[in-house]
Amino acid sequence: MNDKIKFAVIGCGHIGKRHAEMISRNDEAELVALIDVKDKSALGIDHFNVPLYNSLESFFKSGIDTDVINIASPNGFHAEQGMKVLESGRHLVIEKPMSLTKKDSEALIFKGLQKHKQVFCVMQNRYSPPSEWLKDILESGKLGKIFMVQINCYWNRDNRYYKADSWHGKKDLDGGTLFTQFSHFIDLMYWYFGDITNIQAKFADFNHKKLTDFEDSGFVSFDFVNGGMGSLNYSTSVWDKNLESSITVIAENGSLKVGGQYMNEVEYCHIKDYQMPELAPTNPGNDYGAYKGSAANHHYIIENVIDVLKGRNTITTNALEGMKVVDIIERIYNLK
Ligand SMILES: NC(=O)c1ccc[n+]([C@@H]2O[C@H](COP(=O)([O-])OP(=O)(O)OC[C@H]3O[C@@H](n4cnc5c(N)ncnc54)[C@H](O)[C@@H]3O)[C@@H](O)[C@H]2O)c1
In CATH, the number for domain 125-295 is 3.30.360.10
177 with 214: CB under 8 angstroms?
A: yes
The three-state secondary structure class of 145 is coil
pLDDT of residue 296: 73
Question: What is the distance between the alpha carbons of residues 80 and 88, in angstroms, rounded to a whole number?
Answer: 13
How many angstroms separate the alpha carbon of residue 96 from the centre of ligand 1?
10
The three-state secondary structure class of 297 is coil
Instruction: Tell whether ligand 1 has an atom less than 6 A from the beta carbon of residue 75.
Output: yes
Mean pLDDT of 106-127: 96
Mean pLDDT of 77-88: 98
Instruction: Tell whether ligand 1 has an atom less than 6 A from the beta carbon of residue 16.
Output: yes
Nearest atom in ligand 1 to 12's CA: 39
Segments of the chain assigned to CATH 3.40.50.720? 5-121
Segments of the chain assigned to CATH 3.30.360.10? 125-295
Q: Which residues are CB-neighbours of 190 under 8 A, at least 6 positions away?
A: 321, 324, 325, 328
Instruction: Tell whether ligand 1 has an atom less than 6 A from the beta carbon of residue 96.
Output: yes
256 with 131: CB under 8 angstroms?
A: no
How many angstroms separate the alpha carbon of residue 229 from the centre of ligand 1?
34
Strands in 265-271's sheet, in edge-to-edge order, are 196-204, 217-224, 229-235, 146-154, 244-251, 254-259, 265-271
pLDDT tens per residue across span 220-264: 999 999 999 999 999 999 999 999 999 999 999 999 999 988 888
Instruction: Tell whether ligand 1 has an atom less than 6 A from the beta carbon of residue 183.
Output: no
Hey, whose CA ends up nearest to atom 21 of ligand 1? 13
Q: How many CB atoms lie within 10 A of CB 275?
A: 6
Instruction: Tell whether ligand 1 has an atom less than 6 A from the beta carbon of residue 82.
Output: no
297: confidence class by pLDDT, cuts 50, 70, 90: confident
Domain 5-121 belongs in CATH node 3.50.50.60: no
Instruction: Tell whether ligand 1 has an atom less than 6 A from the beta carbon of residue 228.
Output: no
Highest mean predicted confidence (pLDDT) among 119-133, 139-153, 280-294: 139-153
pLDDT tens per residue across span 130-160: 999 999 999 999 999 999 999 999 999 999 9
288: confidence class by pLDDT, cuts 50, 70, 90: low
How many angstroms separate the alpha carbon of residue 14 from the centre of ligand 1?
7
Instruction: Tell whether ligand 1 has an atom less than 6 A from the beta carbon of residue 10.
Output: yes
pLDDT surpassing 90 at residue 287: no
Instruction: Tell whether ligand 1 has an atom less than 6 A from the beta carbon of residue 187.
Output: no
